[in-house]
Amino acid sequence: MVFKPIVLVAGLAFATAVSAQFDPQGSQVTSYFPQVADGGSASQHWITSLTFVNPNATLSVTGTVNFYANNGSALALDFGAGPVTSFPIAIPPQGTVVFTTIGAPESVAIGWAVATSNLPVQGVVQYRYSVNGVPQQGVSALATEASALFRSPASSTTGVAIANPSLSALGVKIAALDPSGVTVTSNTVTLGPLGHGSFTLSQVLTGLPANFRGTVIVSTTAPNTYAVAWTLSTDLGVLASYPPSALNWPISQYERISKVWQKVLGVAAANYPLGTAPRLVIDPSVGQINSFASTSLNEVHIFMNMAELISDSESELAFVLGHELGHIIQTASGGLQFSSNTERDADGYGLQLALGAGYDPYGGGGALAKLAMASSTPTLINPGFDNIQANLGTDPHSSFLDRLGVIFQSLQSVCLLPQNQALCGMYKATVHSHFPLNAPL
């Protein structure tokens, strides 16, 4: 299984409208668990629990959990119905499911896990061990994101778990920094495809002083590569998890695009007659910035460089994906809703779908402004970008500025629709409560 797919296919179909869905921090559609442990001798016996919470108030979650051993092969664990290397999950709106291993292996089985879902979920892993049948300690950790760097407090006994979410070998550097920020020692570990490793800091960093206290940095050694990692405090024999330590920005764009796409698509499918759900194609080509909808193929294409231009704003990404979905909706519904101009009408869909998915529609202004900035140098933006020349004139830069000038009016139009008025009012009271009274949100 490839965890960074180039093509994402979503099979969503809902019949009822949804309100803005605000998700808790850390919820993801790709949830990585860098360590699982099950079984072992009576002197130290482990079990692992995985808990998934669906924060969505109206939509159900479906997904799959896969397990991998240290060498990247499938890892079989028993959750009460026999050994499995993967299993499906189904969670009702605002529901919770828990899966717990039975600790069957006589030798402890160690590996890692990844859960993929059609909507963001909160994922938590909990480890517990017992001695001669008597429970001793437990520790829990949130699912992590893929990142190029992780930073955590550490001592010489800190436990570190790392995994490779790609199908290519991955170099991972482990570095210990003293309280002054000076590197004490470092080492590089190579993980095979989907490989995993776990160790204490002193095991991987030979010569590290036993009384070391400072910081551990886990980073990938090649550009544009990502790992997943987790750290565990074992000071004085007491287990305690550290907070999530992945970079807040930049992160792996694949996971971010997938998350935003699933949320925006869920709103579109719940409100418009899409028929077969469109699929998302993520294009990693290095070249001119682009995104577009292929209505004949029922596809939305977004280039990685577009996501990188938008950078750290999920709200801006939601507007872009919603805009392209708007073109699919235009074809499916046979008409325009917000404007007589195709592109401005798609802007209206982008605003509406972002709003319904729980993102800030004002992010549309940020996305268009960044595109306008990039279009000042003609070679940066694809000349056929989103049919701008055919629909809005021959100068992409002027077209972006023109759309930016009317986007506020588009937001007003979206919020004047009867089906959106309650949602816009709620959103304004919750997110933009200090805006002027005449602002649409």
50 to each of 74, 89, 196, 198, how far by Cα in Å?
18, 11, 18, 19
Domain that includes residue 426, residue range: 253-431
Tell me which of 90, 125, 145 is where a domain ends. 145
Question: Domain check: are 229 and 122 in the same one?
Answer: no
Angle at 57 between CA 55 and CA 58, to 5 degrees: 125
For residue 250, whether the previous peptide bond is cis, meaning omega lies within 30 degrees of 0, is yes
Highest mean pLDDT (candidates 38-52, 65-79, 391-405): 65-79
Task: Give CA–CA dist 23/357, Å, rounded.
Answer: 10
**Cα 298 from Cα 295, distance rounded (Å):** 5
pLDDT tens digits, one per residue of 293-316: 999 999 999 999 999 998 889 999
Statement to judge: residues 182 and 123 lie in one domain: no
Do residue 131 and residue 56 come from a single domain? Answer: yes
Residues 280 and 387 in one domain: yes
SS3 (DSSP) at 304: helix
Backbone dihedral angles phi then psi of residue 70, each to the nearest 5 degrees: -60, -35
- Residues 107 and 227 both lie in one domain: no
With a cut of 90, say whether residue 394 has pLDDT above it.
Answer: no
Q: Quick one: 365 and 414 in the same domain?
A: yes
**pLDDT(396) > 80:** no
Q: Is the confidence at residue 72, as pLDDT, over 50? A: yes
Please check whether residues 279 and 406 belong to one and the same domain.
Answer: yes
Mean pLDDT of 84-106: 96
Cα 242 versus chain centre, distance: 21
Q: Tell me, yes or no, whether 211 and 258 share the same domain.
A: no
Please check whether residues 238 and 323 belong to one and the same domain.
Answer: no
My answer on whether 130 and 210 are in the same domain is: no
Q: How far apart are CA 102 and CA 99, in angstroms?
A: 10
The Cα–Cα gap between 427 and 337 comes to: 22
Mean pLDDT of 313-336: 93
- Which segment, 119-123, 251-255, 309-313, 404-408, is predicted with the most confidence on average? 119-123
What's the CATH number where 230 sits?
A: 2.60.290.11
Closest of 204, 239, 244 to residue 228, by C-alpha = 244
The H helix count followed by the E strand count for the chain is 9, 21
CA dihedral sign, ordered 327, 332, 338, 339: positive
Domain contains 4: no
The pLDDT value recorded for residue 279 is 95
pLDDT average, residue stretch 242-254: 88
Do 188 and 220 share a domain, yes or no?
Answer: yes
Residues paired with 144 in a beta bridge: 32
Mean pLDDT of 75-102: 97
Strand 149-155: give its sheet, edge to edge: 149-155, 213-220, 170-177, 183-191
Specify the pLDDT at position 401. 77
What percentage of the chain carries pLDDT values higher than 90?
A: 60
